[in-house]
Structures are given as structure tokens and as C-alpha cells.
Structure 1
Amino acid sequence: MSQCPFSNLLNPDTYAQGMPYQALKNMRQQGPVVKMDDPITGVPYWAVVGQQELDFVSKNPALFSSAKRTAFPMEMPQDEVDFIHSHTIINMDPPRHQKVRRIVREAFTPKRVNSYEPAFRAHAKEILDKVVKRGECEFVEEVAAELPLVAILELLGVPLADRKQFFDWTNTMMFADDPDMSTSIEDGQIAAGECINYALTLAAQHRKTPMNNITGALLDGDVDGEAISEEDFAWMFILILVGGNESTRTVISHGMRLLMEHPDQLDYLVQNPSKIAPAIDEILRYNTAFIQMRRTATEDIELGGQQLCPGDKVILHYHAVNHSEDVFGDDAMAFDVRRSERMPKLSQQIRSFGIGQHFCIGSHLARLELQVMFEEIIPRLRNPRLQGEISYIRSYFVNGIKNMPISFDINT
């Protein structure tokens, strides 16, 4: 078994103080696929930390299933897998996956997403207007969380008046392992139930007054001539809500942290605003929002020099792969906003959005939000610095920050 400083990639305590960069490097040095124990659940797993191997697993769903035990890394009862999680696209295999994805894809085409840019820009300016004259803010909730939540709620047809309720629901659902974010697993289930009821109310509204948004696209779509069931829609609603909110919030938060930790690089972007957009790839690479996903082996197969058996649990560790020295060079552990100037194909090498059939369908939306936010943040929050400790989310799934109080110069 692994001889890493930590023994389990699926222990939330592993990430409670931030990403264990050096320990993950030590793991990569053991090989691209490492056998691990999970004393918490008793289910051992293979950790995939090599890019070539991660790509092979991701591109071969017949060999590595998302549906058998879901794509989520946590363990759950099989009846929950069959009757709840099977309704979400992330937990589907071909051919059903492609048919459902086709419906969702129409709401995320580059042309449609690009049309949101003026509205996103206006929201971003309003967000900064609220804090810039104070000289300080709690960056995560007051800045990083705002645009992703506003954007995804608008695209789903949720009134902004309900924004705070959805902020609380998504936190409760996603971070049940963190005592500061949720009191129990049951609370997470209750929050999911509230979201489902809300989604069903939206579905009823759409039948009376059709909506031209993601909700409308899902409800009007069909798979093999049959409309998406309301149950399928409700779970898809939750997945899109969480995926479109938590992930981008996380990347914005870590991006700001990294820029504060590297003031010379922040100054480079202040002086060269045209370089902000290409710097987004390095921010995405360095602190991936979703740490890891799961697949289940369906037959005997060799992977990265290891022999896997049917039913074996396979964990795709995107963060470890995004720091691979084999791909990004000897300075892979360093943060460098100019990396894309040296690596023109950087966007194709990062695995922050996955790869293969489950490549994040909202990646274009996320990139637009990140670009707009940093283009507004960097020139306006001048000389930012940390005002207290960063509080990380205790989770092995989402690489999030709970609190990050900052101060900055007030422009007169």
C-alpha cells in the first residue's frame, strides 16, 4: 500500500489545511497508478495520478463505468445509486449519457454562452462596487461566490430574490463532511429535497409559461422520443446548480489567493491586462475545483503497470495530474501566470474540466465567468493582502475555501 505521508486520499482531513502539494508529488513518484486503502469505508481503491492513465480511463467508459457505483468518490448504498444518482448525467454511461448530454449541450453552446458576457460584466462591476470603497472584504462570500451563483440561477430561471437560499442549500449539500458548513448528512439530504421541490415548481411554471433557458431546454428535450421525467429534471437541476456554482467560486477564491501569494505576478497582470485571459488556464491548473472523481473497472485490465479486476474502485485525481512534472516540466509545482506563453497548448493539457465523454459541459461558461471576474478584480482591488487565516473546506471532493478575509488599497 501507499507509503505517502498521508494514507488516504478519500479522508477529508487530508485537505482540511489546503491541498497537500508535496505529498501528491511523492505519490506521483511512486507511479501513475497507486493502490490505496480507505480505513474509513473499508473499500480499497486505485489512485490514478498519471495523465496518460487518467485519459485512458476517461475515454473508455466500457472499461471504466460511471454508472455502476456513480462518478462520485464517496461510498453510498447501492439502492441510492440505482434510484437517485442514476438520474444525473455525471453518473451515466453510453449510450444514455450521449442522448441526455445532447439536450443539456444546447444550453451551453459557445455562441449562447458568449451572449451572456455583457450581463456577466455588469454583475461583476456591481459586485466590486459594493466592496471596493471599504478597503476590505470577506472575499469568498462577498466576491467569489456572487457571479457564479447569480449566473447559474439566471440560466436556470431562479429569481435572484432566492439567491441566499440557494447559497445555503448548495453549501449544505456539498460540504456535509465539514462541521462548519453542515451539521449532518441528514441536513444535506433535506437541502437536496428542498432543491428538488423548487425544481418541480419551476417545471410547473414552465408548462404554463415556457422559459428559454437551461430549465426550458431540459424540460423540452427528449431521449428516444420520450420527454425527460420530472425526477430526472430535478436531479439534473441540482447537478447543474452545484457544478455551476461551487466550482467557479472555488477557482476564483484560489486564484485570488495565488495572486496575493505572488505579488510580482499580480503586478504583471495589472500592467498587462491583456494577459489576464491566458492566465486563467494557470489558475485552473494550479488549484482544480473538483479534486477527484470515481470510475468502476468492468473487467480485468492492466493500467499503469497495475492489474485491476472487475468491480475495483478507481479514483481519478485531477489535482495530482495537473501538477505532473512529465506534462508541465520541472517547475510544475510552481504557479506561473505566464506559463501559457511558454506552453501555447496549456488549455489542452490541463484536466480541470476532465476529458473524454464526461468533459465538463459548462467549461465555456466557467471560463467566461473567470475571465470577467479577474478582469474586474485585478485593476480595482489594488495591493490586496490577507487579513487573517484562510479557512479551507474539509472535503476530498471540492477544493474549496470557506473564508478568506482580505484588505486592499482604497483608490481615491
Structure 2
Amino acid sequence: MIINLVDPDGHAKSGPPHGQFRWLRDNEPVFRHPGDLANDWPDFWAVTRHEHVVQVSRNPGLFSSHRRLALFDELPEAEREIQRLMMINQDPPDHTRRRALVNRGFTPRVIARLEKHIQEICEMLLDDVEGRDEVDFVRDVAAPLPLYVICELLGAPVEDRDKLFNWSNRMIGTDDPDYATTPQDNADAATEIYSYATRLAAERRESPRDDIAGRLLRPDENGETLSDEEFNLFVLLLVVAGNETTRNAASGGMLAFFDNPAEWDRLVADPAGLAATAADEIVRWVSPVNMFRRTATADTVLGGKQISEGDKVVVFYPSANRDESVFASPEVFDIARDPNPHIGFGGGGAHFCLGNHLAKLELRVLFETLARRFPRITQTGEARRLRSNFINGIKTLPVDLRQSSAS
């Protein structure tokens, strides 16, 4: 079998390469993946089993996010120095301090307060599309939801959601011809987010408010606070990660229901009882983030393979989330799956997704509301996938809501 786990054209055509993942889990779960000199990609270790992804994720001292960053592509050292200021590219103890400060805005108690507002957003979005001839589930439902929520978190005007959407697409869509972004456009989008965050911070300091932005700019109980640069980087991470993952989990989840109509019927029959476990199963099934990169800080052994200091090690979440040794019938989309030890929010450890409670809340409320209001929603056209080996994204998903609302 020819193995190429990072071909963006393959992802655009059919999503994650689950056939290749299955073969690797069975035969070579820690695989020396060939590089691509044309793209400046060196050989790397592809980690595909659940246990090994968790092992890498929970040992940042041995598998560093800081040394050569957490994203797959290779960057010049000067650019890496800038990127290392971002939390996603840090190791403890720097990461521990930053995360403790940011976590104040994302505790389960804080996030639970948003449920009523998220319900209102979902109802409003569905009010807007009800009765329309043409509805794109991505553009009209899945994309606006996290953008409205991010505006709420930051205390930003709802009108800014289009700016956030544009910035996020430019940051993520560099490999997709529909977005036609370039590395320079990516950098420009980051600069625009920085400027936006700087203005937001100035407004909060002048007129404090009890939103997440306000909390993060106040000193904690030890007098610690985020610097201006740290706050700007947090906003950048929120705009991209908080938008892309929820948007694509929602879109991929809707597509999973279309492909598995019996599961949709189950949800429609008991939306309140099944929406929570459905949210977790959607994250497992879709795995919105395909991979992250780590760098070995010392010689070690992983899955029986000798890893050398400096080696590039890449963990693949869609593969781990269909590991037969962990999940019963992993190729079955089961919205009542319990237990569900998926690692769609990361394999645990220092970099476990900070916004996991928020993402699951958004998905739970959205699909519970959809099942109640539009039990006969249908797909009317092909789902078009994002050309990206990083984000398992869907760009368009045409649906019909006419005559499908609950009587």
C-alpha cells in the first residue's frame, strides 16, 4: 500500500485516509513516513494508534511543541521565534503559566452560563433560514454559530463576525484554491487580528466588562496578568481554533447524519436524551483537527521504533479515534456511544483543548434544536471538502429545510 497521509488533494476528495490509517494501525502504528522535498517536508514519524497518540500528548518534556512548533509545515527559525509566543507552541512551564491565566475564562461554570445565549443564537439562525429555497448548512448555520459565540466571549459587536470569518479562512485556507490565500495573506490576517485585539484590550481597560476578554485582562489572585502580546495571541488563537473546529465538527456531524439516517431518526425521537452523547460522537467521527506535530527532545522508543532526538513526530487524531483496540465497532456512527474515550480535543496533557466544554455545548444545543425544529432536513447537493491536511473541513453542504419543520 502506498502511504501518503498528508496529501491535501486526497483530503479534499474524500477526507481523512481511513484505509491507510487502518493498515498502519494493524501493521506499523509508528511509521517512518516519507517526506516531500518539493514542499520542504522532511521524513517524519506518523503515529496512528490511540495509546501512542496519548503517550506523545502527555509527555511534553520528551515530545516538544516548542522546539519546532506544533503545526506540520517547516518554518524559518526567525518565524518560529515569533510563533513560539503562542500558547499552542509552548511547553511547560511557560505553557502552564499561560494556560492557568487563560483558563479563568473557560471553566465549566463560566461556559455553562452561555447555554441560554447559545440556544438563542441557534434559534435565531434557524429562524433566518426557515422557508428559504437555498440553504448552505456551512455558510448559514455551522459557520455563524461559533462566530456569534466568539463575539459574545470577546464582548465584540455581532457585526464583527464577518471579519472574524474572513480572518480565520485566510489563516487556515492557504492550500485551498477557493480561498486563494498566500503565506503573505496569512501573515496579513494575523496582523489584522493583532490590531483588533489591541483595540479591544484598550476598550476593556477603559470600560471594564464582565466578559472573557475583561476577565483575562484583570490580574488573577496572585497578581498575574496576560501581557498585551499574550492577550493578542490568545485572541488570534480563539478566532481560528474556536471557529474552525466547531464549524467543521457541526458540518461534518450533519453530513454524518445524512450518511447514517437511522441515527438521525434516533436523535429526532429523543433529542434531549441523546444530544450530549451525539456531540461527543460527532467529535470522534469527524476529528476536526487532523494532526499536530511534536519534536523529540531525546532519543526514545515509541511503539517499538527508535526515535532520535530532533525527529519530527506527527500524531493523527482521526486514526486514533477509530482504533479498534479502544472503540467497539469504530466504523459505526453511534450517537449513544458510551463510554467514548475519543481524543478529538487532543490526547490529554498540557495541550488538551481549552475550549472543549464550549465546543460540546455548542454542538449539543445546535443538534438538539435542529432535531426538534427540522426533523426532516435533507441533503440536496454534494458536500465540498476543504483542501487541507490540517483541518478536516467542509466548505459547502446544501440542504433543504422547506416542508421539513416539525408540525
- Give the TM-score range, shorter chain: over 0.9
Provide the secondary structure at the position in 2 that maps to 1:398: coil
AA partner of residue 342 (structure 2): I
* Aligned residue in 1 for 2:58: 59
Inter-partner Cα distance in structure 2 for 1:269 and 1:399: 24
* Aligned residue in 1 for 2:6: 10
Contact 1:393 1:402 in 2 (8 A): yes
How far did 1:133 drift? 2.0
How far did 1:266 drift? 0.6
How far did 1:183 drift? 3.1
How far did 1:224 drift? 8.7
AA partner of residue 296 (structure 1): T
Identity rate, percent: 40
* Aligned residue in 1 for 2:187: 189
Are 1:25 and 2:17 counterparts?
A: no
Contact 2:119 2:365 in 1 (8 A): yes
Residues 368/25 of structure 1: CA separation in 2 closer, same or farther (3 Å cut): same
Residue 174 of structure 1, aligned match among 172, 175, 186? 172
Inter-partner Cα distance in structure 2 for 1:74 and 1:333: 30
Contact 1:382 1:408 in 2 (8 A): no
State TM-score, norm by structure 1. Answer: 0.93
Contact 1:128 1:143 in 2 (8 A): yes
* Aligned residue in 1 for 2:385: 392
Contact 2:41 2:73 in 1 (8 A): no
Q: Deviations over 1:72-93 (max 9, x none)?
A: 12211111111x2111111111
Are 1:379 and 2:379 counterparts?
A: no
Contact 1:383 1:409 in 2 (8 A): no
Provide the secondary structure at the position in 2 that maps to 1:69: coil
Are 1:351 and 2:343 counterparts?
A: yes
How far did 1:333 drift? 1.6
Contact 2:377 2:399 in 1 (8 A): yes
Contact 1:88 1:236 in 2 (8 A): yes
Q: How is 1:10-409 mapped onto 2 (pairs within 5 angstroms)?
A: 10-17=6-13, 18-39=15-36, 40-82=39-81, 84-134=82-132, 136-221=134-219, 227-273=225-271, 274-329=273-328, 331-340=329-338, 345-346=339-340, 349-354=341-346, 355-409=348-402
Provide the secondary structure at the position in 1 that maps to 2:313: strand
Inter-partner Cα distance in structure 1 for 2:223 and 2:129: 50
Q: Deviations over 1:241-279 (max 9, x none)?
A: 211111001000011001111111111111122112212
Q: Deviations over 1:149-197 (max 9, x none)?
A: 1101210122111111111111111111111123322111111111111
Provide the secondary structure at the position in 2 that maps to 1:19: coil
How far did 1:206 drift? 1.7
Inter-partner Cα distance in structure 2 for 1:269 and 1:222: 42
Provide the secondary structure at the position in 2 that maps to 1:75: coil
State TM-score, norm by structure 2. Answer: 0.94
Contact 1:46 1:314 in 2 (8 A): yes
Contact 1:10 1:38 in 2 (8 A): no
Inter-partner Cα distance in structure 1 for 2:289 and 2:169: 15
How far did 1:136 drift? 4.2
Contact 1:66 1:91 in 2 (8 A): yes
Residues 31/81 of structure 1: CA separation in 2 closer, same or farther (3 Å cut): same
Inter-partner Cα distance in structure 2 for 1:184 and 1:169: 13
Q: Bigger CA drift: 319-328 or 73-82?
A: 73-82
- Let me know the Cα RMSD of the aligned residues: 1.7
Provide the secondary structure at the position in 1 that maps to 2:73: coil
Provide the secondary structure at the position in 1 that maps to 2:358: helix
Residues 224/303 of structure 1: CA separation in 2 closer, same or farther (3 Å cut): farther
Contact 2:245 2:288 in 1 (8 A): yes
Inter-partner Cα distance in structure 2 for 1:16 and 1:327: 28
- Unaligned 5+ residue runs, structure 1? none
Q: Deviations over 1:302-348 (max 9, x none)?
A: 0001100111001010111001111113x2122122322xxxx21xx
Contact 1:132 1:380 in 2 (8 A): no
- Unaligned 5+ residue runs, structure 2? none
How far did 1:199 drift? 0.6
AA partner of residue 231 (structure 2): F
